[in-house]
Structure formats: structure tokens, C-alpha cells
Amino acid sequence: MIILGLTGSIAMGKSTMAQQFRDEGIPIHDADQAVHQLMSKDGKATPLVAERFPSALGQDGAIDRPSLGRLVFNDDAARQDLEAILHPLVRQDRDEWLAHHREQKAWCVGLDVPLLFETGGEKDCSATVVASASAYQQRRRALARSGMTEDRLDAILNLQMPDSMKRQKADFIVPTDYGRRVSRFYIKQCLEQCRAFPPA
């Protein structure tokens, strides 16, 4: 089974790219969605996160992600504590998902991971695919998001590997500046080439 690692910096079009892979029939595991589920009312991570960050527990019994984000955003130690809780659980969720799709005889799957290269996740993949756009487009898209400011965007970018470095590391690059039709062309090319890959 071919395992593609899908990634890209903030506002580069990664989520749209992942959906286009789904449109081509490729199952995609979404790390962010796994985190949402893990921190839901009955999620595996909720009691662990609530123990470390009590004020982040919402009245509904789930972790309040905006509150948690404010607690860890400018605190490296707190962020590392959170990652130590979440990363093993996300890996477990991913591994169970991969096992299921191996049983289903899927020829190719994708792992949608925002910090794929930053966490060394590429070593678990047959190939990596990076969504990329110009720095101008990235800033324009990011600043259009609710609650985003120039300072917050710069702080987020400082936590992420530069796009230029991700492009160097990637096996495939999907440009997202020019509309979905162009992105789809690159995705189809990627999948054609992947059919000749040895499985991971």
C-alpha cells in the first residue's frame, strides 16, 4: 500500500488538496480531525489534557480548543507537554486506520499532517506531497481567517518549516495559486507516478 504524506504550511491549500485526493478515490487520514475526536467529550485525550490544563475543559466535557490554544501558543514548555499527550494517541489512531485500509486492499492512502516534516513523519511515508503557493497568497488567505493578525501569523510561521525547505524535501509539489483545475492536474500526475512506487 502506497502511503502519501500530505502537508503544507498555514493557508497553503493543504486541506483543499487533501479533498482533491479524496475526490480521486484516495482515503485520507486527517491528523487535525483525529485531534478533534481525541479531545471531544469522550475522547481518549480529554482527561489527560484536562489534568494538565484544567482551565481548558469546557462545560460540555470536551476540551475547548481556543482556550487550550491560548494556553500553549506562546509557552514552549506547555506546547511540548500537550504534544507529549497528543502525538502518541494520534499515531495510534493513524496506525489503526492504516491497518483497516490494508485489510481493505487499498492501493494508496494519504496522511494529512500539517507538521509532517517538523515531526519526522515523512519516514513513515512512501512519498510526500506539499501544497504550496506564493508568500503573497499565503498571507492574503491567512489574514482573511477569523481572529488572524499579522503578529499571530508570524508567530505561527516561526513554528513551521519554511515553505522553500518543504518544497526541497517533497517528492511532489502541488501548486495552489492557480485554481483547482491546475492543482488537480498535478495530483493526477502524482498518482500516476505512485502506481510505479514500491509500497511502504
Q: What is the mean pLDDT of each run of 10 residues along the chain (200 residues)?
A: 97 96 98 95 96 96 94 92 95 97 97 94 96 96 95 92 96 96 97 81
pTM of structure: 0.90
> Which of these, 12, 10, 31, lies nearest to 83 by C-alpha position?
31
Q: Is 112 helix (H, G, I), strand (E, B) or coil?
A: strand
Cβ atoms of 73 and 155 closer than 8 Å: yes
Looking at residue 74, its pLDDT comes to 83
Domain residue extents for the chain: 1-27+107-200, 36-105
Q: Classify strands 172-175 and 127-132 as parallel, antiparallel or unpaired.
A: parallel
Cβ atoms of 191 and 24 closer than 8 Å: yes
120: left (phi over 0), alpha (psi -120 to 50) or beta: left
Looking at residue 178, its pLDDT comes to 94
Q: Is 139 helix (H, G, I), strand (E, B) or coil?
A: helix
Task: Tell me if the domain spanning 1-27+107-200 has CATH number 3.30.460.10.
Answer: no
Cβ neighbours of residue 104 closer than 8 Å, sequence gap 6 or more = none
